[in-house]
């Protein structure tokens, strides 16, 4: 699907949003969020990802990220989405306690059958919706939006109390679950 949103200068931070197909609430389960964390850490250590901020919500993810010199942010995101979709679908299949297993797999298969880019399943929506953050105002707005997402959703009353977010890195002296490059 063509979009007007494109990655710009790979070394500049981008606000990136990607969502599960049909906005399915997959990330209500901690095990599936842990797959995302592991993959983000791998991308930081091995693929040139510079992660500045992040949040995992029930059905979508927001990142502020850039890439090291000579690395394409679009390539990192493509590989991240491909790997995590495969891993999460496998985890859903293997999870004996997943009450929504049949329904979710049916929805992912249904979405995959409508997209020629997939073999069987489609987990993530096609687009990343990247926005290059070229000004301090844009950066501040997106950081606030990203970190306040769990507060606005009623999950926590203070952003830094949400476990699956970089808010703790920004609003306290504590390190979060993933090493980030804090933007001050």
Domain assignment present for residue 65? The answer is yes
Domain assignment present for residue 78? The answer is yes
Which residue segment(s) compose the domain that 145 sits in? 14-171
Domain assignment present for residue 60? The answer is yes
Domain assignment present for residue 6? The answer is no
- The residues, ordered by sequence, that sit 6+ positions from 145 with a Cβ below 8 Å of its Cβ are 62
Domain assignment present for residue 70? The answer is yes
- Tell me the H-state helices in the chain: 30-46, 73-94, 101-113, 136-152, 167-171
Long-range own/partner contacts, residues 82-90 (CB < 8 A, 24 or more apart)? 83/39, 84/35, 84/36, 84/39, 84/123, 84/124, 85/121, 85/122, 85/123, 85/124, 87/35, 87/39, 88/26, 88/32, 88/35, 88/123, 89/121, 89/123
Q: What is the mean pLDDT of residues 133-142?
A: 94
- The residues, ordered by sequence, that sit 6+ positions from 9 with a Cβ below 8 Å of its Cβ are 132
Read off the CATH number of the domain in which 124 is found. 3.30.70.1290
Q: Give per-residue pLDDT as tens, 6-17.
A: 787 888 999 999
- Number of domains, the chain: 1
Predicted confidence (pLDDT) at residue 127 exceeds the cutoff of 90: no
Q: Beginning with the edge strand found earlier in the chain, give each strand of the sheet holding 14-19 in spatial order.
A: 49-56, 60-67, 14-19, 131-132
Q: Give per-residue pLDDT as tens, 66-112.
A: 999 999 999 999 999 999 999 999 999 999 999 999 999 999 999 99
Q: If you count them, how many residues does the chain have? A: 184
Tell me which DSSP letter residue 19 carries. Answer: E
Domain assignment present for residue 184? The answer is no
Q: What is the mean pLDDT of residues 120-148?
A: 93
Q: What is the mean pLDDT of residues 18-22?
A: 96
Domain assignment present for residue 73? The answer is yes
Whole-prediction pTM? 0.93
Domain assignment present for residue 8? The answer is no
- The residues, ordered by sequence, that sit 6+ positions from 112 with a Cβ below 8 Å of its Cβ are 118, 119, 120, 121, 122
């Amino acid at each position: 699907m063509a979009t007007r949103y494109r990655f710009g200068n790979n070394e500049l931070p981008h606000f990136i949003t990607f969502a599960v197909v049909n906005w399915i609430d997959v990330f209500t389960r901690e095990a599936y969020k842990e797959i995302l964390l592991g993959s983000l850490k791998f991308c930081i250590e091995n693929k040139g990802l510079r992660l500045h901020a992040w949040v995992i919500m029930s059905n979508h993810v927001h990142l502020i990220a850039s890439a090291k010199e000579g690395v394409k942010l679009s390539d990192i995101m493509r590989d991240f989405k491909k790997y995590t979709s495969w891993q999460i679908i496998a985890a859903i299949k293997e999870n004996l306690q997943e009450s929504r297993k049949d329904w979710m797999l049916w929805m992912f298969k249904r979405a995959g059958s409508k997209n020629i880019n997939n073999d069987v399943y489609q987990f993530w929506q096609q687009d990343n919706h990247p926005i290059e953050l070229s000004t301090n105002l844009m950066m501040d707005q997106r950081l606030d939006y990203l970190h306040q997402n769990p507060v606005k959703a009623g999950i926590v009353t203070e952003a830094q109390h949400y476990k699956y977010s970089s808010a703790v890195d920004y609003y306290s002296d504590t390190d979060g679950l993933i090493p980030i490059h804090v933007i001050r």
